[in-house]
Amino acid sequence: MFEEVKNLLVEEMSINADDITEEAEFGKDLGFNSLELADLVVMCEDRYAIDIDEEKAHTIITVGDFVKYLEELLAEKQ
């Protein structure tokens, strides 16, 4: 799942692949603002046919946090 999210960040959000690690913080390390994070959430909702809780999305700090949350949502979906 990390590689899928990384590819999405590189291809759709124009983030440098070398900057994307599981520990990378969306705001501090990747320069995301709240609109860009919202765009990422919508892209993932569409791609994986899931609903990401808006309140939960505001608590996600790192790429790893986001990956873990996506994995949890996909596991619940099965």
Q: Which domains does the chain show, CATH number per domain?
A: 2-77 (1.10.1200.10)
Output the average pLDDT for the chain. Answer: 94
* Tens-digit pLDDT profile for residues 16-44: 999 999 999 999 999 999 899 999 999 99
pTM score > 0.85 for this model?
yes
Contact of 40 with 8, CB cutoff 8 Å: yes
